[in-house]
Amino acid sequence: MKAHDGMYIDGTWRPAAGTGVIEVVNPADEEVIATVPAGTVEDVDAAVRAARAALPAWAATPPAERAARLTALRDVLLARQDEIARTVTAELGSPLKLSQAVHAGVPVAVAGSYAELAAGYAFEERVGNSTVLHEPVGVVGAITPWNYPLHQIVAKTAPALAAGCTLVVKPAEDTPLVARLFADAVHEAGIPAGVFNLVTGLGPVAGQALAEHPDVDLVSFTGSTAVGRRIGAIATGMVKRVALELGGKSANVVLPSADLARAVNVGVANVMSNSGQTCSAWTRMLVHRDRYDEAVELAAAAADKYGDRIGPVVNARQRDRVRGYIEKGTAEGARIVAGGPDAPREKGYWVSPTVFADVTPEMTIAQEEIFGPVLSVLRYDDEDDALRIANGTVYGLAGAVWAGDEAEAVAFARRMDTGQVDINGGRFNPLAPFGGYKQSGVGRELGAHGLAEYLQTKSFQF
């Protein structure tokens, strides 16, 4: 057990204002592995003041120099990949292989992509008789969740730094350790004091203080729709910019011409990865009635193979919540064909990889975000029916379409109300804009579209 001290503010670890601490628990065995200070309004205020003071110089730093600092940051993240992976596994519970490939690997790619974007971006353009400047928005307050703890921090920090913004990050209370590691990496990369600041703490205290701080110009939030709605209201009331990455209930649409086994196996892997704690997971699989029984059998067999290899969910509250949804699914008439409410291990926050068949579109498990390893398989009659079901939730974050022919899949994907669609198992692209239609959010992250969120325009007419 390690008792960590301090907040990273103005380029140094300085003592927290209060005495409260947060216990960090390993979800695999419920052991307390560390404590971190619980930030207060005073800590947030000190961090925002440091970010404000550092803003003019960082905003005026040539983009090529900001790019060089981001390259250095990328290199530090790369050099520390093992330590990052072990830390995420300890506080999130994800299997080490996933932590290495995704939790430690993706942030390296994203930091690298923003080093390149900062170097090449047109921060000034000519429009008719005007010159348009793309200037940093200012001080950013970033509030991040635990599910991809380092990725979510880097997906906000890297574009903010590329744009010339300074920021204060409030990471999730469940995963503060990798956030602290990241602050060390920022320091090692030579990013000037005050440009990046970290305050660990509880959402309703430190998170809320950050969102409400009058000297924060943009609030960038990723997490639940319930908290996102509150933050949106606070930011709008204070006329701040706001970006919200919220929940999802994405559809994996298997058209009749698809390679069924591949579509189902990749679909199940997508949902079970990270124990189902992925906002863009394809938690609803839509299959034509003629191939439905075969798909259900394949999905059940695929899920059974995972057992406890997917890792636990993050905490007891999430475990109870996910189990509650599994019980609700049964109560509403869906049929469990793999897994169920019983945990595969006694100690730790484990949930069995679960597949439901005979799920109808209006059931709770087909409408609400479960955020656990639970897949619903739904039946459709024809393409219009599939589209109606796919688009029939309040969310619109991601999705997938499978067909024998790519053009057929694309034609369907064009009609989906969602921000990203993977065609026949397309690969993750760190440069593609990520973000939601409908109640999945406001704004985009990653790539040039993610950078634009941190910029505001000024135009000179000649």
| Residues labelled catalytic | 245, 279
- Tell which one of 91, 245, 422, 445 touches ligand NAP (CB under 6 A): 245
Three-class secondary structure of residue 227 per DSSP: helix
Q: Is 246 in the site for ligand NAP (CB under 6 A)?
A: yes
**CB contact at 8 A, 357 and 296:** yes
Q: Does 211 bind ligand NAP (CB under 6 A)?
A: yes
Question: How would you classify residue 363: left for phi > 0, otherwise alpha for psi between -120 and 50, otherwise beta?
Answer: beta
Which residue number, 164 or 353, has a Cβ lying nearer to ligand NAP? 353
Q: Which of 70, 143, 242, 377 binds ligand NAP (CB under 6 A)?
A: 143
**CB-based contact 165:138 (threshold 8 Å):** yes
Q: Hey, which residues between 366 and 395 contact ligand NAP (CB under 6 A)?
A: 369, 371
DSSP letters spanning 153-203: HHHHHHHHHHHT-EEEEE--TT--HHHHHHHHHHHHTTPPTTTEEE----I
By C-beta, is 408 or 445 nearer to ligand NAP?
445
Question: Rounded distance, CA 27 to CA 426, Å?
Answer: 31
**157 is an interface residue for ligand NAP by CB under 6 A:** no
Query: Strands 241-245 and 441-442, how do they pair?
Result: antiparallel
Q: Is 302 an interacting residue with respect to ligand NAP (CB under 6 A)?
A: no
Alpha-carbon distances, residue 283 vs 248, 266, 366 (angstroms): 9, 12, 8
Is 144 a binding residue for ligand NAP by CB under 6 A? The answer is yes
> Of these, 71, 113, 197, 222, which contacts ligand NAP (CB under 6 A)?
222
Given the rule CB under 6 A, which of 79-87, 111-119, 218-226, 415-423 is the region that contacts ligand NAP?
Answer: 218-226
Q: Which residues contact 12 (CB under 8 A, 6 or more apart)?
A: 193
Q: Which residue is nearest to ligand NAP (CB)?
A: 203
Does 212 engage in binding with ligand NAP (CB under 6 A)? no
Q: Which two tokens stand for residue 413?
A: 């994907």
Strands 12-14 and 130-136: unpaired
Q: Which stretch binds ligand NAP (CB under 6 A): 81-89, 221-229, 267-275, 388-396?
A: 221-229
The site for ligand NAP (CB under 6 A) is made up of: 143-147, 170, 172-174, 202-204, 207-208, 211, 222-224, 227, 230-231, 245-247, 279, 369, 371
